[in-house]
Amino acid sequence: MSLTELSAAELLQQLRSGEVSATDAAQACLARIDQVNERVNAMIRVDHAKVLADAGKVDEKRAAGKSIGALAGLPVVVKDLLCTQGEPTTCGSRMLRNFSPPYDATAVAKLRAADGVILGKANLDEFAMGGSTESSIFGPTRNPWDTTRVAGGSSGGSAAAIAASLAPLAIGTDTGGSIRQPAGLCGITGLKPTYGRISRYGLIAFASSLDQIGPMAHSAEDCALLLEVLAGHDPRDATSVDRPVPKYRELLNTSLKGLKLGVVKEHFGEGLNEEVAAAVEQAIDAYRSLGAEIRDVALPHGKYGVATYYVIAPSEASSNLARYDGVHYGYRADEGQLLAELDAERKQLLAAGNKRAAEHLDTALVRMYRKSRSEGFGPEVKRRIMLGTYALSAGYYDAYYVKALKVRRLIRQDFDRAFEQVDLIVGPVTPSTAFKIGEKTNDPLAMYREDLYTVTANLAGIAGIAFPCGQSKSGLPIGVQLQSPPFQEETLLRAAHQFQQATDWHQRRPKL
Amino acid sequence: MQLATESKLFCGCSTEFGAAPNTQICPVCLGMPGALPVMNRKAFELSLRTAAAINCQLARFTKWDRKQYYYPDLPKGYQISQFDLPFSHDGWLEISDPKGKFEPKRVGIIRAHLEEDAGKSMHDERAGVADSQIDLNRTGTPLLEIVSQPDMRSPAEAKAFLSELKLLLTYLGVSDCNMQEGSLRVDGNINLHIDTPDGKVATPIVEIKNMNSFRAVERALAYEAERLYEVWQETGQKLGDVPKQTRGWDDAANVTRGQRHKEESSDYRYFPDPDLAPVTVTDAQVEQVLASLGELPATLRTRLETEFGLSPYDSDVLVNQGRALVDYFLHVASATGDGKLASNWLQQDVLRMLNERNWDIAAFPVTAPALVVLLKKVQAGELITSRAREVLQAMIDTGRSADEVMREKGIEQVDESELVALCQELVAANPKVAEDFKAGKMQAIGSLVGQAKKKNPNVNPGRVRELLIEALGKL
C-alpha cells in the first residue's frame, strides 16, 4: 500500500514510530503529484528540492533526538492565497504571478513550527472568487472523480489534492463556502472554523469580514489534527479571537447520544437535486441511529443569504484589491507601450479637431492604473470589483451595503435562535454534484447559487464542516454539511468523526 | 497634527523624522497582500487626551473607516480614517488677544478624528526629467485631524486659534507641532458675509492649502478676503453658485493661486474597515483621561492673574512660553512673594537672554532658586536693580551664585554712617550746588549723586539722594 493512500492520522503514527521518515512521506507525495497532477491540475507550484530539503530537516531533528512538532513531517498542501516567504504567492492571478511575499502567513508559520512539510501551493479561483477553480490563470482544477467536471472552488486545488491522494492534509480558505463546497464535490472533509479562530495574517484578503482559513483532509480526525496546529490568537490579526484551543482529537470519541440536530425545511426545497437530497436524508437517518435527536429549525432570513453575500463580499473585495495598482508590486502594464498609446490617441483626437477630448485623456499615471488592472485581473475579479465599487458609491451605499449589513445581523440572529434549540444544524453542502467544466462560466448567477447553503455560515461568523455521505449514480461524491454555534468546532468534528466511524464514504478514493 | 508616538498607527515601524527614504517600513504600512493593521493603543490615548483638552465629547464607541482613493503614495488604495463615528466631537477652544485686537471668544470644534498619514511623493519636474519618487516612511504615521466650526471672523482670530491650539498641544506633550517637518499642517476655509441693501450675502467658500507657518495663514486669509471681495464685485457670485474652490498659498509671491480642480467631486466610498474592531471607551477611561490632563494654558493664565496679580498681558507672555518657564516663574514668584517682580525679571531679563542665545529655559544657567537669592537682595534694598542686573549677567556667564559674583565684584552694602559721611563731604566740597539747591534747583542734586556713585559704586543712589537733601537742608 502506498503511503499516499494513508490518512494523516495513520501516516502520523508511522512517522512517530519511525517506520516512515518525513523524506519517505514527501517522496511518496511528490511521486504521486508527478504521476497524476497533470490530469487534475490541483497543484500550481511544487518545488521538489525544497520539499525534500524541508522533510530532511525534520528527519535530522528526529535523528538528533530533538522534540518534533505535532505534524512530525506530514506533507501539507497550501492554497496559493496564503503567503509563503520568498516563494511565489499568486492568488491564481496574473496580477501576482511574479509576487513573492517577504513573510509567511501566520498559518504557514504555524505549519512549519509544527514540523509540517509544505508540499506546494494549490490551485484556486482567482483571488478565491468563484466556486469552480476555473478562473485561475493556471487553468481549471479537474475533479479527480471525473476529470471533465470541476473540483468546486475556490479551494478546488486543495480539495482535489486530497481526493487525488497527492497529500494527506491541505489548507483551504472559506469566504462563502470555498472549503466546504469543493470538499463536498470532491468527497473529502473540510472545516470552516468560526471567524477569528485562525489568524488571517498573511491570508491575502478577498472579503476580510468573511474570510477564514480551515483544514481539509480525508477525515474529521485529520481535520482536528490540523486545526489544533492552526487555531489560536495572533496579535497581528485584530480580528483573531483570544480563547484557548481545545485538544480537538481528544474530544472526537464521545457518543452522540442526546445531540440535538436541527434540520431546516427550506434546505430541502426547490433547487436541490434529488440524489443529493436522498443522500443527505440518509445521513440524517444515520445520525438518528447514532443517538442524535432530529428537530426542525427555522432560518427565515437564509433565503437572503446569497444576495446579502454578493453585496458585502464584493464591497470588501473592491477595497481590498485596490492595492493592486501596478505601483509598488505585482503586475504593471508595459510603460513604453502605454505612453505610445496615449500619444497616438492624443494625436488622433487633435487631428479630428476634438481638442476637449484630447485635454481630458488619462494622465500617464491613470492610464497605468487602468491598464495594469485591466490586464492583471480576470473577468470574475473585475465583475466583483465593479459590483462592490457600485455598492459603496455615494447614493447607493445605504440601499446596498448598509441594508446588506442589516440582513447579515438578521441572519446571525436566526442562527442564534436556532442554536438555542439544537446543537448543530445538518443539511446539504451544494444543490447538486460536481458540474461540467465550462458549464456555468457564462452564467455567474448560476455559479453564485452554488453558495446557497454555505454563505450564511460566513455571514454569521459561525463554523461549518462538509464531508462525504454518498455518491450519485454516476459515481460523483455527495456531501453533507453540519453547522455549529461559534467556537463549537469540537462538536462539529466529533459529529463528523462519529459518522465516519459508522460509514466508509470518506475512505472511498477515485480511480485516476 | 502628527501625534508624538514612537511607532506608527497600525504597525510597529518608527515614526522618527528624517531617516533615509523607505527605511521605516514593513509589510503592514506597505499595504502588502495579507498584511493586517493592529491599532496602536498609545496613539489612541494621546488622541483622547487632546480631544479632552479641547473640551470635546469623547465617544464611547468609535470605529475605523476606509477612505478610498488612488495615489502612488497610498499603497493600500485607501487610508484608514474615521468617517461618521469619530472618537470625539463638539468641543471648543477659547481665544483672546491680550492687546485687545478682538473680543475673547470660544471657537467651536466640530470633531477630532484619528487617521493614518500617506507617504510622500517627490516629483522632479525639470524639463525632460519627469521623475517621481515615493518615500513611504511617513505612511501610517498617526494624524489627528481637528475640524473647527466657522467661528473665526478675522485672520488675527485664525492665527490666535492656531497659536492657542499649538500651545495646548505642546502643554499636553502630544505633538511636537513642527510645521517644517509637517507635524502640524493647516488648511483654511474662508468666505465673506457682505452687507448689501438686500441683506447679507455670503460668497462662495475657498479652501487654502500649502500654508507653512501661522504667519502665512494670517497673510493668506487676509489676501483671500480681499480677493473674494473683488471677485464678488466683479461676478456677484454667491455661496452655492460655484463649487468650493481649492487654492494654494504662494508665500514668496504673497498670493493664493487656484489649484487644478477635478470636474466631479470625489467619492471616497467610505466604509467600516473590516480588519479592525470598533473601539469602545468606558466612563472610567474618560475620567482617567480628564484627570491626567494637568493644568492647561487657559487655567494657568487665570491663576497667574488671580494668585500673583499679573496683568492679562503678562500672564499671556509667560504662559505662552510653555510649562517649564511657567514653573520657573511660579517658583520665583512664590519664594519672593512678589509676582510682579518675578514677572518683570522673567520678561525683561530671563526671556531676553533666552531669545538672544536661542536657549530653552532648561538650558538657562541660573536656576529659579538662584534667581530668588538675587531678587531677595533687591527686595531687602541690598542691591539696586541696575547692579542686580549686572550680577545676573555675571551669574549667567560664569554659572556662579549671586553671593560669589558679588564677592568677586566687591559689591557689598555700604554702611549708613559711611554714607552720611560721604554725603557731608560732598556737600562741603560743592558750595555751588548748595547755592543752587537753596535757590530751588532740585536737579542740582543729581550731579552730587553721580559723584557719590563714582566714589563708591556700591552706594544706593536713592538713599544717597535722601541723605544729600537732609545735609543740604541743614546748611
pLDDT digits (tens, 9 = 90+) for A11-33: 999 999 999 999 999 999 999 99
**How confident is the model over A210-243, as pLDDT tens digits?**
999 999 999 999 999 999 999 999 999 999 999 9
**B12 to chain A: closest CA residue:** A236
Q: Tell me the three cell numbers of residue A93.
A: 492571478
**In the predicted model, what is the mean pLDDT of residues B386-390?**
90
Q: Determine whether A208 is an active site residue.
A: no
Tell me how close the Cα of A471 comes to any Cα of chain B, in angstroms: 37
Residue B263 has pLDDT above 50, yes or no: no
pLDDT score at B128: 65
Q: Output the average pLDDT for chain A.
A: 97
d(CA A455, CA B249) in angstroms, rounded, equals 53
Considering only CB atoms, which residues of chain B are within 8 Å of chain A? 27, 30-39, 66, 68, 70, 72, 75-78, 134, 267, 269-271, 274-277
CA distance A101 to A88: 7
Q: Residue A91 and residue B72: Cβ atoms within 8 Å?
A: no
pLDDT exceeds 60 at position A247? yes
Q: Say what the ipTM of the complex is.
A: 0.96
Residue B261 has pLDDT above 80, yes or no: no
Q: C-alpha cell of A430?
A: 451544494
pLDDT grade, residue B260 (50/70/90)? Answer: low
Contact B70 A202 (CB under 8 A): no
C-alpha cell at B409: 565684584
**CA nearest to B10, candidates B38, B31, B33, B47:** B38
Cell numbers describing residue B340: 510682579
pLDDT score, position B127: 64
Query: In the structure grid, which three cell numbers stand for residue A397, read together?
Result: 451605499
Q: What is the pLDDT of residues B128-160, one digit of tens each?
A: 666 789 999 999 999 999 999 999 999 999 999
Cα B402 from Cα B397, distance rounded (Å): 12
Q: How far apart are CA A358 and CA B12, in angstroms?
A: 46
Predicted local confidence at residue B33, as pLDDT: 97
What is the SS3 string spanning A84-127? CCCCCCCCCCHHHCCCCCCCCCHHHHHHHHCCCEEEEEECCCHH
* Cross-strand partners of A262: A295, A425
Closest CA to B86 of B275, B281, B291: B281
Q: What is the pLDDT of residues B201-248, one digit of tens each?
A: 999 999 999 899 999 999 999 999 999 999 999 999 999 999 889 999
Q: Which of A225, A139, A141 is nearest to A178 (CA)?
A: A141
A-B CB pairs within 8 A amount to 94
In one letter, which amino acid is B286?
Answer: V
- CA distance to B341, B377, B458, per residue, from B349 (Å): 11, 17, 21
Show Cβ contacts of residue B199 under 8 Å, excluding neighbours closer than 6 positions.
Answer: none
CA distance A400 to chain B (A): 12
Distance CA A320, CA B35 (A): 11
Q: What percent of chain A has pLDDT over 70?
A: 100
> How many other C-beta atoms are found inside a 10 Å radius of the C-beta of residue A6?
19
Q: Which long-range contacts (CB under 8 A, 24 or more apart) does B382-385 make?
A: B382/B413, B383/B411, B384/B460, B384/B461, B384/B462
Single-letter amino acid, residue A411: I
B282-329 confidence digits (pLDDT tens) = 999 999 999 999 999 999 999 999 999 999 999 999 999 999 999 999
Residue A154 known to be catalytic: yes
Beta strands in A151-290 (DSSP E): 169-174, 189-192, 212-217, 260-264
Kindly list the residues from chain B whose CB atom is less than 8 angstroms away from the CB atom of residue A318.
269
Residues B16-54: pLDDT tens digits?
A: 999 999 999 999 999 999 999 999 999 999 999 999 999
Q: Which residues of A touch B134 (CB under 8 A)?
A: 327
Nearest CB neighbour to B274, from listed A83, A102, A208:
A208
Cell numbers found for residue A112: 512549519
Q: How confident is the model over A72-88, as pLDDT tens digits?
A: 999 999 999 999 999 99
Share of chain A above pLDDT 90, in %: 96
Which residue in chain A is spatially nearest to B70 when comparing CA positions?
A322
Task: Read off the pLDDT band of B265 (50, 70, 90).
Answer: low
Residue type, B203: T
Average pLDDT, chain B: 92
Contacts of A365 in chain B (CB under 8 A): 72
**Number of Cα atoms under 13 Å in the Cβ half of residue B459:** 25
- For B355, counting Cβ atoms within 10 Å of its Cβ (0-12 exposed, 13-18 middle, 19+ buried), the class is exposed
Measuring CA to CA, which residue among A393, A380, A489 is closest to residue A126?
A380
* Mean pLDDT score, A114-134: 98
**Beta carbons of B75 and A328 less than 8 Å apart:** yes
Lowest mean pLDDT segment, chosen from A447-451, B186-190, B258-262, B400-404? B258-262
Q: Which three cell numbers stand for residue A31?
A: 511521486
**Contact list, A235 vs chain B (CB under 8 Å):** 38
The answer, yes or no, to whether residue B176 has pLDDT greater than 60, is yes
DSSP annotation of B110 reads E
- Judging contacts by C-beta atoms under 8 Å, the chain A residues touching residue B267 are 393-394
Beta pairing, strands A75-79 & A169-174: parallel
Q: Which contiguous run of DSSP H or E holds residue B209? A: strand B206-211
With an 8 Å Cβ cutoff, the interface of chain A facing chain B consists of 82-83, 89, 91, 96, 99, 101-103, 105, 200-205, 207-209, 235-239, 315-316, 318-319, 322-323, 325, 327-329, 365, 369, 389, 392-394, 397, 401
For the segment A159-171, the average pLDDT, to the nearest whole number, is: 98
Q: What is the pLDDT of residue B447?
A: 82
pLDDT band at B425 (very low <50, low <70, confident <90, very high): confident
Give the separation between CA A183 and CA A499, rounded to whole angstroms.
Answer: 16
A-chain residues near B11 (CB < 8 A): none
pTM for the structure as a whole: 0.91
Whether A79 sits among the annotated catalytic residues: the reply is: yes
